[in-house]
Amino acid sequence: MQFVSGETVGIDLGTTFSVIARLDAMGTPRTLPNRRGEPTTASVVLFKGPGEAIVGPTAEDRAGIPADNVVTAVKRHVGDPSYRFEFAGRRLTAEFISAMILRKLKQDAERHIGPIGNAVITVPYYFNDASRRATQRAGQITGLNVIDIINEPTAATLGHAWQRGELGRLDLPEDERTVLVFDLGGGTFDVTLVRYTPRRFRVLATDGDVLLGGLDWTQRMAEYCCDRFCEWFAADPREDPQSFSEVLRACEAAKRALSRRPRAIVSIHHDGRNVDVEFTDELLQQLTADLLQRTLDTTERVLETADVRPAEVHEILLVGGSTRMPMVRRKLQELCGRPPATTLDPDQAVAHGAAVHAAILEARTQGTESRMGQAVLRRLRSVHVTDVNAHALGVLVTDPQDLRRKFNHIMIPANTPLPVSVRQRFVTTVPNQRRIDVHVLEGEARDPGACHHVTGFRIAGLPPGLPIGAPVEVEYRYDENGRIDVRARELTSGRGASVAVIRGATADADVEEAFRRLAAEYTIE
Ligand code: ADP
Ligand code: MG
């Protein structure tokens, strides 16, 4: 990885809120506030006109703007090639819209620290190769050199361990701490188990739930409100997008209020009529019990995967705005027999950890010219971070019993510590086979159709007359910088081929074009 000139930051590009941070000269992560002085910026893009956008608009900015001009939760579409947001005759990709959010964070932060060159951007556990690459491209479109993409919970814990003052302290004993990170944000849920000593930081296991977050809690409240409204009047606020979006907004406010007090009222206006619905914390818990249960099931699965008993967890870290809901804290306390830690700011922990990670990477490339103190640099250089792969990597294999059937044979299971290298033998399946196609798949499923196709290559020119069952060796190497090397060789002839996939490869032509367009055609407030 290479650094470019300019400052180095960490960015939490969230579904609902985004945060940018940097380590100060003493090694303390500091959030760089936006132009309004707020630490978090809503990941919402409002189009005022062609080429004119406001990121993180206020209620005033939104007044009188049709809902069609506003993009929310674009992160849910990042990596989806079919997604487009249409506005003023333009069709924008999710990564282009993400780039607009990044541009806002960057330009506001630059008011504090000057030009920014390099960034670590965080992604949820469940992001696959395609969504990670799209996030990387979003950074490049903004003109950021993306030095790494890391998982959000990994970042949160790294930041926490760093802040406790333990990481990188070679004088401290090598005591191990096991930490569970429970991250329930707006649209995503991740849970991760981490173990660290002052020198080594290891992710033991991580898992997550696609499309589960605070938005779902709010949605349940809104459905409940509309049902009540329908009981009173034979009219449904869900039929009018404007009414329903107001119900959602009122429910969002009520949900937050319930984290602080026992009751909250939602007033619904629709069709010239009003209904007030009262919520208690208890009612909210009833309406969403299955959602909370899903987060606990995933948590238990992660503990099992890592073979760690709940009582062995030293600390539970809460990340994500939705962990402010009292029901989350209660349930986790029941599970682990101890209250979750409250030292972290759930909104900023991820960005702070990304800033620590960025500084660890940067410290290795720097001499004495760093703006950071020598003691901080020494600490940063002595931390060794080991991550795991979030998704399995497999190879497409033909079933020898039925040549029409193909399946995903897993080479590197999920949750394997990196770097890792795996070598396995396969055999040719037809007589006189002249070529071998190797396809690299990402995903746990046996059905290749349910996996993401990462890359593929072909060994051609095998000698004629090769018998069925000729040995083929396949090797996967996955290093800590996100580089995947795949080689395959037919052993009798010695013919082979290989491919390297580098997460975070250099910008392609499309990215450069998007970079020019964003820079030349859009102003962002
Ligand atoms: P993301 O990382 O997905 O952008 P955040 O971690 O910023 O999300 O969390 C946003 C979510 O947190 C929203 O769904 C919001 O409703 C919820 N949230 C924020 N504050 C509270 C609160 N006080 N009580 C309950 N939920 C909250
Ligand atoms: Mg988040």
18 with 144, same domain: the answer is yes
> What is the H or E stretch that residue 396 is in?
strand 393-398
Residue 200 alpha carbon to ligand 1 centre in Å: 31
Residue 157 alpha carbon to ligand 2 centre in Å: 13
Domains in the chain: how many in total? Answer: 3
- In this structure, what token pair is assigned to residue 342? 């409250």
Atom of ligand 1 nearest to the CA of 218: 16
Pocket test for ligand 1, best of 12, 16, 125 (most atoms within 8 A of CB): 16
Q: What is the pLDDT of residues 15-34, one digit of tens each?
A: 999 999 999 999 999 999 99
Evaluate whether residue 66 is within a structural domain: yes
Q: What is the pLDDT of residues 203-228, one digit of tens each?
A: 888 888 878 999 999 999 999 999 99
CA distance 87 to 490: 52
Residue 213 alpha carbon to ligand 1 centre in Å: 8
Contact criterion met (CB below 8 Å) for 447 and 407: yes
Evaluate whether residue 299 is within a structural domain: no
44 with 127, same domain: the answer is yes
CATH number at residue 486: 2.60.34.10
44 with 115, same domain: the answer is yes
Tell me which residue has its CA closest to atom 13 in ligand 1. Answer: 186
Tell me which residue has its CA closest to atom 5 in ligand 1. Answer: 185
Residue 438 reports pLDDT greater than 70: yes
Q: What is the pLDDT of residues 118-170, one digit of tens each?
A: 999 999 877 888 888 899 999 999 999 999 988 888 899 889 888 888 787 77
Nearest to 120 by CA among 139, 106, 107, 104: 139
The bound ligand whose nearest atom lies closest to the alpha carbon of 40 is 1
**With bands split at pLDDT 50, 70 and 90, how would you rate the model's confidence at 267?**
very high
257 with 351, same domain: the answer is no
- In this structure, what token pair is assigned to residue 169? 């302290």
pLDDT value at position 221? 98
Show Cβ contacts of residue 452 under 8 Å, excluding neighbours closer than 6 positions.
128, 129, 130, 441, 442, 443
3-state helix, strand, coil in the chain (%, to 5): 35, 30, 35
pLDDT value at position 287? 97
pLDDT value at position 349? 93
Evaluate whether residue 37 is within a structural domain: yes
Q: What is the pLDDT of residues 76-94, one digit of tens each?
A: 899 898 999 999 888 999 9
Q: What is the pLDDT of residues 396-418, one digit of tens each?
A: 998 877 888 899 999 998 878 88
Show Cβ contacts of residue 432 under 8 Å, excluding neighbours closer than 6 positions.
464, 465, 466
Q: What number of other Cβ atoms are within 10 A of residue 137's Cβ?
A: 26
Tell me which residue has its CA closest to atom 20 in ligand 1. Answer: 321
362 with 402, same domain: the answer is no
166 with 27, same domain: the answer is yes
pLDDT value at position 399? 80
Atom of ligand 1 nearest to the CA of 12: 2
Residue 191 alpha carbon to ligand 2 centre in Å: 12
Show Cβ contacts of residue 139 under 8 Å, excluding neighbours closer than 6 positions.
11, 99, 102, 119, 121, 145, 146
CA distance 347 to 354: 13
Contact criterion met (CB below 8 Å) for 122 and 155: yes
247 with 372, same domain: the answer is no
pLDDT value at position 161? 86
Pocket test for ligand 1, best of 256, 291, 329 (most atoms within 8 A of CB): 256
CA distance 506 to 444: 28
Output the CA torsion sign for 365, 18, 154, 478. Answer: negative
CATH number at residue 273: 3.90.640.10
CA distance 95 to 454: 19
227 with 360, same domain: the answer is no
Residue 286 alpha carbon to ligand 2 centre in Å: 25
Mean pLDDT of the chain: 90
- In this structure, what token pair is assigned to residue 187? 């649209």
29 with 130, same domain: the answer is yes
CATH number at residue 90: 3.30.420.40
Output the CA torsion sign for 328, 334, 339, 343. Answer: negative
Question: Which of 287, 303, 324 marks a domain boundary?
Answer: 287
Question: Which of 287, 303, 336 marks a domain boundary?
Answer: 287
Residue 267 alpha carbon to ligand 2 centre in Å: 29
Atom of ligand 1 nearest to the CA of 14: 4
Evaluate whether residue 78 is within a structural domain: yes
Residue 507 reports pLDDT greater than 70: no
> What is the H or E stretch that residue 279 is in?
strand 273-280
Query: What 8-state DSSP symbol labels residue 376?
Result: H
265 with 406, same domain: the answer is no
16 with 142, same domain: the answer is yes
Atom of ligand 1 nearest to the CA of 152: 2
Q: What is the pLDDT of residues 319-363, one digit of tens each?
A: 989 999 999 999 999 888 888 887 778 889 999 999 999 999 999
* Arithmetic mean of pLDDT, 470-493: 88
Evaluate whether residue 64 is within a structural domain: yes
Residue 12 alpha carbon to ligand 2 centre in Å: 7
Atom of ligand 1 nearest to the CA of 215: 14
Atom of ligand 1 nearest to the CA of 213: 14
Residue 472, CA distances (Å) to 396, 465, 466 in order: 13, 16, 12
255 with 376, same domain: the answer is no
The bound ligand whose nearest atom lies closest to the alpha carbon of 75 is 1
Residues near ligand 1 (Cβ within 6 A): 14-17, 185-188, 213-215, 218, 252, 255-256, 259, 320-322, 324-325, 347
Contact criterion met (CB below 8 Å) for 188 and 390: no
Which carries the bigger pLDDT value, residue 171 or residue 20? Answer: 20
Evaluate whether residue 491 is within a structural domain: yes
pLDDT value at position 503? 62
Residue 505 reports pLDDT greater than 70: no
Domain that holds residue 482: 393-501
**Parallel/antiparallel/unpaired status of strands 7-13 and 116-123:** parallel
Which carries the bigger pLDDT value, residue 254 or residue 127? Answer: 254
Evaluate whether residue 79 is within a structural domain: yes
Q: What is the pTM of this model?
A: 0.84
* Arithmetic mean of pLDDT, 418-442: 90
- What share of the chain in percent tops pLDDT 90? 59
Question: Which of 287, 320, 337 marks a domain boundary?
Answer: 287
Evaluate whether residue 181 is within a structural domain: no
Q: What is the pLDDT of residues 451-480, one digit of tens each?
A: 988 888 999 989 999 999 899 999 999 987
Q: What is the DSSP string of 13-53?
A: E-SSEEEEEEE-TTS-EEE---TTS-S-EES-EEEEETTEE
Quick one: how far is CA 37 from the chain centroid? 25
Residue 506 reports pLDDT greater than 70: no
